Amino acid sequence: MTTSNFSLKSRSLKFKWTFGASAAIFLTFFLFSYAIYQGIGQMLLNEEEQKVDSLLAETTANEVLKKW
């Protein structure tokens, strides 16, 4: 029977705290980055949608006026 080289039971408390802290920092950074990415993406989509709606309304109004 072989044991794994990465057994947490055989590691020191310093290693466990270092590993746990680095995992927590990575997870926090990943979640924060994902939230920022999604927020900015949604903001840009909303801004573009408003511009398209405005341009479409202006173009439609101009076409209606040309027919008169």
Q: What domain count does the chain have?
A: 1
Range of the domain at 53: 38-68
Position 68 in a domain? yes
Position 23 in a domain? no
Position 19 in a domain? no
Position 50 in a domain? yes
Looking at the predicted structure, is the pLDDT value of residue 2 above 70? no
Position 51 in a domain? yes
Distance CA 35, CA 45 (A): 15
Mean pLDDT, range 7-25, rounded to an integer: 93
pLDDT confidence of residue 66: 76
How far CA 35 is from CA of 28, 41, 44, 49, in Å, comes to 11, 10, 14, 21
Position 66 in a domain? yes
pTM of the model: 0.64
Encoding tokens for residue 59? Answer: 């173009």
pLDDT digits (tens, 9 = 90+) for 33-50: 999 999 999 999 999 999
pLDDT confidence of residue 62: 78
